[in-house]
Structure 1
Amino acid sequence: MFSINKATLLHYVTTAFAVLIAVGVAMPVAVCAGEPLRVVVSIAPLHSLVSGLLDGIGEPDLLMGANASPHGASLKPSQMRLLNRAQLVIRLGEQGDVFLNRPLKTLADKVEVAEMMAVPGLVLLPNRAPGIVGKQARHGSEPREHHAGEMDSHIWLDPKNAVRMVEAIAQRLVELDAPHAARYRVNQAQLLKHLMRLDRALAERLQGVAHNPYVVFHDGYQYFERRYQLHAVAALSTDPAHPVSARRLMRVRAEMKQVGVRCVFGERQFSAAYVDLLAEGGDISVGFLDPLGVGIAPGKTLYFTLMQRLADAFVECLSQAD
């Protein structure tokens, strides 16, 4: 009968365990020479930032196009295939791109996941209750420790957050794909320079209308509001898929009259019925905002076009309130 002493057995087991650990860590992120890392990104604004970092190396896959609302979304088989072949998935987090929560659980230990809402130094703002938001929006909220379900996930609408995310993503890419580390760092430097320039341009563009009050249909813009000190008075809904009560509509209309709101913002991918009701019977302009980049071609310029277009929409509507 074959026998083996305990010391030899322990040596074999320890060696095998070490190999398994090494393979387990390396397999999801193994990059063949000259081949780019297979990166999948949840939403278009994040995909744009990642595209800038991968410029000249490869193209990240976009999971949810800007024309599709992440609210209540579910993945198609083709999107699941993208996830199954990914080596790195970049997402907002469990509170943001909720449609990824279940699929990623099935892929646990098979793919690297980078959650942007967990990036150190990020400004995180609590979700606001729909209705009157006035003072919160005007003065902003101090970043604080967050708990499940509390934080607003539209983090990319503050360029300072975009800077933090780019730094974190670049570091992860360098760690997982060392052969392209130098190019990642060059792209990072370029992208950060463009983001800082964008932030200055937006601040200058919005300065003249920051004091004008307005109402939004979807409360998806408080990061933008806080960064540029805009004066939101009320938000009808935190989830556009849910109906708005008549009572809330009446309260918001009363607040609009009291404060002197002359601009109401909707979103083109959702019904304008509530916005029309708010604007009805008054000298009120209607504008349209977009936090995702609807109609903009995916890629490294989408984020910048999205943010500039957002500023233009605010200026156009709020200028009419002067």
Structure 2
Amino acid sequence: MKRIFFIILLLAVIVGGLVWYGFSSRFVPATSSSDKIQVVATFYPLAHFAEAVGRDYVHVTQPVPAGAEPHNFEPTPQDIITMTQADVFLYHGAGFDAWAEKVVPDVIQYGGTAVEMASFFTLLRGGEGKEETSEDGVSDPHIWLDPQLAIREVEVIRDAFISADPDHAADYAANAEKYIDALFALDRSFETGLSACKRNDVVVAHDAFSYLGARYTLNIIPIAGISPEEDPSAQKLAELTQLVKAKRIQYIFFESLVSPKFAQTLAAETGAQTAVLNPVEGLTAEEVAAGSDYLLLMEGNLRGLRTALECQF
């Protein structure tokens, strides 16, 4: 009888221990990155800049997967949970990642810091004219394609990390300075590389390159609007066909994350060639595998522009 009682008692202890372990482990955070700031960045440029500034002291999650276009991304329930648990939540705002703006109140409620990058800039208005945005205008979000504006983005991220983790302020400042030096070098490459070109007109798949054009005095001619999913009208395509022929434009640029059909149609109608001009909104799976990053993609954009615009060395 004593032996049976002992066995029952032992089983009770074991079961009770397992139940307690299962219960308590639900509330113990993972230790692998518990010493790092948990950062969620809504799309590639923000994630890349965050990794460059934070390096060993941050864990950066980007909900938009490789090959996906961030404008119309739909987060999963798990994505939403990850976003709300971030120490620092980086999103663009101004309608670019509207899906992310919905979780900002929850991020703040759970003690995180939400950084709306667009709020630190005066945005251009999308569409004709490229004036500063007005209350009734659609703002152009693509600030990261101007290396000088990208520098300001890095500074904003640096300051957010220092505020969240002041113990590593010197590290964030040093990392940011190093990456800013690379952005200054990129800016000088564009300035020099596009300073002596025979052509100035750049036909692009969608209206993503206004900041780049404004910085380096390029005439950007978009096929579609601010959203790459916006189809041009038949009248718009006819007008572009006439313009390309009249100016003898030799290249029509398309993008890697969206369909090239309208660029290809325009090229076929005019006898122009097609080439990629990357808005760097995200990476394809092939670009990830090849180790591409923001700087490499922008250098590729410069090479493509120099060819299309017949720039001199």
Short-chain TM bin: 0.7 to 0.9
Q: Which moved more, 1:301-310 or 1:160-169?
A: 301-310
- Contact persistence 2:89–2:107 (CA under 8 A): no
SS in 1 for 2:62: strand
In structure 2, do the counterparts of structure 1 residues 231 and 211 end up closer, same or farther at CA, with 3 Å as the change threshold? farther
Query: How far did 1:304 drift?
Result: 1.0
Tell me the TM-score normalised to structure 1 length: 0.77
* Corresponding residue of 1:230: 218
Q: Indicate whether 1:117 and 2:118 are aligned.
A: yes
Name the aligned partner's letter for residue 44 of structure 1: Y
Which structure ranks higher in relative contact order (CA pairs < 8 Å, sequence separation ≥ 6)? 1
* Distance in 2 of aligned mates of 1:115 and 1:150: 17
Q: Indicate whether 1:270 and 2:258 are aligned.
A: yes
* Corresponding residue of 2:203: 215
Query: How far did 1:106 drift?
Result: 4.3
Q: Indicate whether 1:314 and 2:302 are aligned.
A: no
* Corresponding residue of 1:187: 175
Q: Indicate whether 1:155 and 2:143 are aligned.
A: yes
TM-align CA RMSD: 2.6
5 Å matches for 1:56-95? 56-95=56-95
* Distance in 1 of aligned mates of 2:198 and 2:102: 41
Alpha-carbon deviations, 1:194-244, whole Å to 9, x = none? 111111112222233373323112111111111121222343333222332
In structure 2, do the counterparts of structure 1 residues 240 and 145 end up closer, same or farther at CA, with 3 Å as the change threshold? closer
* Distance in 1 of aligned mates of 2:104 and 2:126: 24
Report % sequence identity. 25
SS in 2 for 1:165: helix
Q: Indicate whether 1:294 and 2:274 are aligned.
A: no
Query: How far did 1:146 drift?
Result: 4.6
* Distance in 1 of aligned mates of 2:114 and 2:126: 24
Name the aligned partner's letter for residue 229 of structure 2: A
In structure 2, do the counterparts of structure 1 residues 221 and 228 end up closer, same or farther at CA, with 3 Å as the change threshold? same
* Corresponding residue of 2:156: 168
SS in 2 for 1:310: helix
* Corresponding residue of 1:104: 104
- Contact persistence 1:217–1:235 (CA under 8 A): yes
Query: How far did 1:158 drift?
Result: 0.8
Alpha-carbon deviations, 1:262-286, whole Å to 9, x = none? 2211113322221122112433121
Query: How far did 1:54 drift?
Result: 0.5
* Distance in 1 of aligned mates of 2:72 and 2:156: 28
* Distance in 2 of aligned mates of 1:319 and 1:227: 19
Computing the radius of gyration from Cα coordinates, the structure with the larger value is 2
- Contact persistence 1:210–1:231 (CA under 8 A): no
SS in 2 for 1:63: coil
Query: How far did 1:294 drift?
Result: 2.4
SS in 2 for 1:89: strand
Name the aligned partner's letter for residue 58 of structure 1: V
Name the aligned partner's letter for residue 152 of structure 1: D
In structure 2, do the counterparts of structure 1 residues 82 and 171 end up closer, same or farther at CA, with 3 Å as the change threshold? same
Name the aligned partner's letter for residue 80 of structure 1: I
For structure 1, the 5+ residue unaligned runs are 1-33, 130-135
For structure 2, the 5+ residue unaligned runs are 1-33
* Distance in 2 of aligned mates of 1:84 and 1:256: 48
Query: How far did 1:162 drift?
Result: 1.1
* Distance in 2 of aligned mates of 1:87 and 1:297: 26
In structure 2, do the counterparts of structure 1 residues 234 and 62 end up closer, same or farther at CA, with 3 Å as the change threshold? closer
- Contact persistence 1:210–1:229 (CA under 8 A): no
SS in 2 for 1:60: strand
- Contact persistence 2:63–2:79 (CA under 8 A): yes
Name the aligned partner's letter for residue 123 of structure 2: L
In structure 2, do the counterparts of structure 1 residues 294 and 316 end up closer, same or farther at CA, with 3 Å as the change threshold? farther
Tell me the TM-score normalised to structure 2 length: 0.79
In structure 2, do the counterparts of structure 1 residues 285 and 265 end up closer, same or farther at CA, with 3 Å as the change threshold? same
- Contact persistence 2:186–2:295 (CA under 8 A): yes
- Contact persistence 1:213–1:263 (CA under 8 A): no
* Distance in 2 of aligned mates of 1:259 and 1:56: 51
SS in 2 for 1:124: coil
* Distance in 2 of aligned mates of 1:123 and 1:310: 24
- Contact persistence 2:38–2:88 (CA under 8 A): yes
- Contact persistence 2:72–2:97 (CA under 8 A): no
Q: Which moved more, 1:185-194 or 1:208-217?
A: 208-217
Number of residue-to-residue matches in the alignment: 274
